[in-house]
Amino acid sequence: LAKTTQPISMDSYEGQEVNITCSHNNIATNDYITWYQQFPSQGPRFIIQGYKTKVTNEVASLFIPADRKSSTLSLPRVSLSDTAVYYCLVGDIGGYGGSQGNLIFGKGTKLSVKP
Amino acid sequence: ETGVTQTPRHLVMGMTNKKSLKCEQHLGHNAMYWYKQSAKKPLELMFVYSLEERVENNSVPSRFSPECPNSSHLFLHLHTLQPEDSALYLCASSQDVAGSFSTNEKLFFGSGTQLSVL
């Protein structure tokens, strides 16, 4: 089971770029890396997913180095509304009931954006 | 709007009550999930369904009973719960079952049911 490690919390100010790094040393060859955002009392929301190099969408960018043992979620010019918990998930191959890496949410990173 | 709807949004029940949580997805997905999120704890995966068949039960007590009558609907039947079962219960869906041979599935979550057991 691929295990992920993220900082527990981060603070930022409005307008800054925020980078959250996730370590996944045991990532398997076919695993994707997926990030979710969760606001209090709501379900997590998909942000971005990648396999290698760089992925960018309208919300964020995801940087994955060549060895894929880590990934960095980049949020450009954060606002107060970006205050949330951010989760990094890495999938495993294992068949039904085997490994569920991309279903397992850790503690995530609690990002607090201040004015 | 994620395409996954959960009702009720809030629920208060006594330990002897029987209640049900409902989840409906309008995304044409084949897999559905129940998660539990207690205060200040990570999300815990409870049940996984693929095409109405339960494929995973993560050692959940029998006082929680899931039901998936079709690929669009998922229920969680609750009976004789304990106060420690108070939590946010989240339903999610994905195109196919995540964690099988497909590691790039994206989960779509509902807004959850905030459950309080008195």
Q: Regarding predicted confidence, which is higher, A97 or B114?
A: B114
CB contact under 8 A, A43 and B111: yes
Q: A110 - beta bridge partners? A: A9, A85
Q: Closest CB to B106: pick one of A49, A105, A106.
A: A49
pLDDT of amino acid A22: 95
Q: In this predicted model, what pLDDT tens digit does every residue of A49-91 receive, in sequence order?
A: 999 999 999 999 999 999 999 999 999 999 999 999 999 988 7
Environment class of residue A71 by beta-carbon count within 10 Å: exposed (0-12), middle (13-18) or buried (19+)?
buried
Q: Closest CB to A102: pick one of B43, B103, B114.
A: B103
Question: How high is the mean pLDDT of chain A?
Answer: 88
CB contact under 8 A, A44 and B101: no
Q: In order along chain B (118 residues), what is the average pLDDT of each group of 10 residues? A: 93 93 96 91 88 81 94 95 95 80 80 95
Beta strands, E only, chain A: 9-13, 18-23, 33-38, 45-50, 53-56, 61-64, 70-75, 84-90, 109-114
pLDDT of amino acid A92: 53
Q: Closest CB to B88: pick one of A41, A91, A95.
A: A41
Closest chain B residue to A86 measured between Cα atoms? B42
Q: Are A1 and A92 in contact (CB under 8 A)?
A: yes
